Each structure stands twice: as structure tokens, then as C-alpha cells.
Amino acid sequence: MSKVKTKWVCTECGYKTEKYLGKCPECGNWGSIVEESVSFDVNFPKTKAIAVNEIEFENEIRESSGLEEFDRVLGGGIVKGSIVLIAGDPGIGKSTLTLQVSNSVAQKNKRVLYVSAEESANQIKLRAQRLNVSCENLFIYPQINLEEIKKTIEELKPDTVIIDSIQAIYSSEVTSTAGSVSQIRECCMSFMKMAKTTGTTIIIIGHVTKDGNIAGPKILEHMVDTVIYFEGDKYKSYRILRAVKNRFGNTSEVGIFEMCKEGLVEVKNPSEMFLNEHTQSSPPGSVIIAANEGSRPLLVELQALVGTTSYPSPRRVVNGADCGRVLQILAVLEKRVGLNLSKQDVYVNIIGGLEVDETAADLGIALAIATCSRDAVVDSQTVIVGEIGLSGEIRAVNNLEKRICEAEKLGFKKIIIPEANKEIKNNYKIEIVRVKRLIDAISACVSHN
């Protein structure tokens, strides 16, 4: 039995109200409140409480997707019966990724149903030929109706289902257009029930808004088990897969791919990728930092540009790092080092499109700004890592041994680390320089032109 109730719902964030409002009080958007009839089932299956030690489960609940980078982001593989949401900008490669995953899973004698709500079977076949995808266990199903999709899943009994995309699916039981808040909520709820009752793994593709958020109600992200963002510049070849929610793994892991003619190719050594254009004669303001993404270190190039401003208020432009953190570092440079930046525009950019939000990048940012301001250079064979406190001290960072080993493996000659990391021994081939304060770090690595 279903009940129908009329609500006013924000199409941007899913906020509900009993009457029309010109402006959504939750997200602040104007004209986004629309009237929708919400249908919900009042007959839920009966269950009983079970002692945790009596719950039976399979020893191996994870299965490999066939792509190591994808498995890494998921926490070691696909969990049976889970729902994974993959979101990203149009043209970034979401359909390519899921089609490659579908083919890899199908080749392991697993049935995969690829539901395409946006493309015809012929269009998918063209992409499959380009990606060399061909497997008798992979079924393509162009369909947008939820009820028909459920019937096909019940008949075919696939191990994995791909939904491309959730914004294009609609239910006949909901009186609103596809992509509306109520439609997305109803369809996702139906897929969630199916996954949990049958053990079918469901991977859902979702669109993002112009602000970079997943289109549809926020509840969509709460209902799924894993939320993954597929990032990158569609005009460049590299793509980054990042988990922002994962009930079965670490959310700090990233997977890195390169978009080629044959599809997405895994990048086994991302540090080399991010440093492929790094030259031996680095210009002022260019440094190498050791970032940590999940369980692995990444060496990336960070650049800063400082110049006299032509505006009443100097500009602060940051790409790939936390802007608030950069402003804090600028304050420390002015107060503790004596660097006058009040009339200087400052630009900070992390090469390669990687987002680095950890504090271990502080020292690299500070040295890039300081060297550019003083027209000095940091040795291109030097790696920098360290957190900066407000008094100018260099604070300890975690996973430092892995960062040192990565720098040594790639042939760097020197690494500047916090003196506070007392556990690090001098038993590496790479030269280790320990610094206590920011001004000491500047003196240790800067050489003037």
C-alpha cells in the first residue's frame, strides 16, 4: 500500500516545506522550490534483532573490479550487495570507467547488466569496440523506466548492475519528471532495497551541478554506501578517482588514470606522472612536495608566483590547495620571516590537477612563495615536507618514512623534514635535512641566482 502526499521541495538540495517559498532557506537558491507529489510505501518487511555474534557472512565479501586503482579507492575491492555512486563532470569519463569495470567483472564469469538511460545500444556498442570490450556475460539494456529495470534484474539475476545515470531514470509511481528530487529519491531507494535483499552490487552514475556537487537531493549521498568523485580537466588526459564517503574503507585513497584512445589506463607510479615535466633547472617559486594520499605518498610540483599588484587589494589565487591555509602561511611569512607581501599578488598552483589539503604541504607552499619573492631557487633535487605553526615552527607530520622512501626511489638527493620527527633515522641514501623553524628552512634550501 502506498500513500501520496504533496510537498514543496527544493530541486537543488532537497529541502522540504509545507508551502511555496521564493528562496530556499537551506541552500539559498531562488526559484528552486517546486510542488511534488511524494509517494511512499507504508508496508515494510518485518525483521527481528539479531545478536552480532550470530550474524552469518561470507569470509570473502570483496571482489576485485579488475582495475587496481578502482579497487584501491573502494578499500580493496567491490563489496557484495553495496551501492556505489560515481559522480563527475560531463565528458570526464564516467561511462568509460564503468564500462571497463563491467567488462572486467564479466570476464570473471559474473553476470553484469549495464542499464543505459542516456545512450542507445548502438552508441554503447561503438564505445565498447573502441575499448575492446566484448564478453558474453555483459548485457546492455537501454531503459529509463524503473519498473522495467527491476523486472529485468529479477529475470536476469545479475551479480552487478550499472545505472547510467540515476538522473535519467524515472518511476511510473511518482508524478514528477525524471531528475526531480522525488524521482531520484524513489529510484535510489528502490535500488538500495534490491541490493540489500539480493546481494546484487549496484554502481550508479550521477551528474554534478555547476558548483561541483552531486545533482539531486543530498539524501542520495546518505543512501548509498560509497560516494566517489571522478575529477580532472576534460581537456587533459589525467583523471583522479577520489572517495568522499566509504562505509567499507578509507576515504583518503585516490586512484589515478590516464585517458587514452583505448580508454582509461591505470597510472602505476603517479609521482612520475606528476613530475614528468619537472626540469633540472627550476625557476624561482617552484618546489617539490611529498603529499600523502591514503596509503601512498605522491611527489608533486608546487609553483608560486609573486608580483606587484595593480589593485587596491592584492589578489590571492590558489589552485589545488586550501586557500585558507595559504592565507595563514602568508601571515606567518610576514610576521615571522619579515616578508612584506601586503602589496603583492600571490598565486599558488599544484601541477597536475591534484587536490592537496593536508598540512604537510605548508612548508612547500611557504618556500615557493618566499623563493619567488626573493628571486631565488630551490634545488630541483630537493623534496620538502612539513607543517607550519603560527609561531613559525615546523611541526611533525605523519607517514614520513613512506615519503622519504618515495623521494629516494625517484632519485632525489635531499629532503627537508621537521626536526620534530625524532623517529626518523639517518639510514637513507637521500640526504635528510632537519629544520626547526621556517626561517631555518629558507636558509637551508635557497640559493640565489
Q: What is the DSSP string of 150-196?
A: HHHHHHH--SEEEEE-GGG-B-TTS-S-TTSHHHHHHHHHHHHHHHH
Instruction: Chunk the chain into consecutive blocks of 10 residues (it has 449) and report each block's average pLDDT, rounded to whole numbers.
Output: 68 79 87 71 68 74 91 93 93 94 95 95 94 93 96 96 94 84 88 92 89 71 92 81 91 89 90 79 92 88 95 94 96 95 96 88 97 93 96 96 94 95 92 96 73
| Strand duo 254-260 + 263-266: pairing | antiparallel
Looking at the structure, tell me whether residues 123 and 89 fall in a common domain: yes
Looking at the structure, tell me whether residues 278 and 264 fall in a common domain: no
Our CA angle for 314, 318, 323, nearest 5°, is 90
- Find out whether 120 and 126 touch, Cβ atoms under 8 Å: no
Question: CA 332, CA 391: separation in Å to the nearest integer?
Answer: 7
Looking at the structure, tell me whether residues 6 and 67 fall in a common domain: no
Looking at the structure, tell me whether residues 287 and 258 fall in a common domain: no
Domain that holds residue 263: 57-268
The pLDDT of residue 227 is 95
Last residue of a domain, one of 268, 302, 325: 268
Question: CA 44, CA 40: separation in Å to the nearest integer?
Answer: 10
Last residue of a domain, one of 205, 237, 268: 268
- Find out whether 114 and 141 touch, Cβ atoms under 8 Å: yes
Q: Crossing angle of helices 146-156/181-198, nearest 10°?
A: 10
Looking at the structure, tell me whether residues 425 and 295 fall in a common domain: yes
Instruction: Please spell the DSSP secondary structure of 356-379, one letter per residue.
Output: --SGGGHHHHHHHHHHHHTTEEE-
The pLDDT of residue 360 is 96
Question: CA 288, CA 352: separation in Å to the nearest integer?
Answer: 13
Grid cell for residue 445: 634550501
In a domain, 49, yes or no: no
H/E segment holding residue 227: strand 226-231
- Partnered with residue 291 across adjacent β-strands are 298
Looking at the structure, tell me whether residues 148 and 290 fall in a common domain: no
The pLDDT of residue 28 is 84
In a domain, 18, yes or no: yes
The pLDDT of residue 285 is 95
Q: Strand, coil or helix: what is 69?
A: helix
- Partnered with residue 258 across adjacent β-strands are 238, 265
The residue to which cell 639510514 is assigned: 427
Looking at the structure, tell me whether residues 211 and 62 fall in a common domain: yes
H/E segment holding residue 317: strand 316-319
Looking at the structure, tell me whether residues 150 and 173 fall in a common domain: yes
> Burial code of 7-30, b = ≥16 C-beta within 10 A, e = fewer?
ebbbbbbbbeeeeeeeebeebeee
Looking at the structure, tell me whether residues 290 and 172 fall in a common domain: no
- Find out whether 261 and 92 touch, Cβ atoms under 8 Å: no
Our CA angle for 442, 444, 447, nearest 5°, is 80
Question: Which residues does 437 contact at the CB level (< 8 Å), separation at least 6?
Answer: 336, 392, 393, 394
The pLDDT of residue 448 is 45
CA-wise closest residue to 187 among 209, 172, 198: 172
Q: How many domains does the chain have?
A: 3
CATH code, 321: 3.30.230.10
The pLDDT of residue 449 is 44
In a domain, 389, yes or no: yes
Could you tell me the pTM of the whole model?
0.80
What are the start-end ranges of the H helices in 62-180? 68-74, 94-106, 121-130, 146-156
- Find out whether 274 and 237 touch, Cβ atoms under 8 Å: no
CATH code, 176: 3.40.50.300
Query: 10 Å Cβ neighbour count for 328?
Result: 17
Query: 10 Å Cβ neighbour count for 374?
Result: 16
In a domain, 52, yes or no: no
Question: Which residues does 116 contact at the CB level (< 8 Å), separation at least 6?
Answer: 123, 124, 140, 141, 142, 143, 164
Looking at the structure, tell me whether residues 291 and 340 fall in a common domain: yes
Our CA angle for 153, 159, 165, nearest 5°, is 60
Looking at the structure, tell me whether residues 304 and 211 fall in a common domain: no
In a domain, 50, yes or no: no
Looking at the structure, tell me whether residues 323 and 384 fall in a common domain: yes
Question: Which residues does 164 contact at the CB level (< 8 Å), separation at least 6?
Answer: 94, 95, 98, 114, 115, 116, 117, 118, 119, 205
- Find out whether 416 and 444 touch, Cβ atoms under 8 Å: yes
In a domain, 415, yes or no: yes
In a domain, 96, yes or no: yes
Question: CA 306, CA 374: separation in Å to the nearest integer?
Answer: 9
Q: Is 193 exposed, middle or buried (0-12, 13-18, 19+ CB in 10 A)?
A: middle
Last residue of a domain, one of 217, 243, 268: 268
Our CA angle for 396, 399, 405, nearest 5°, is 115
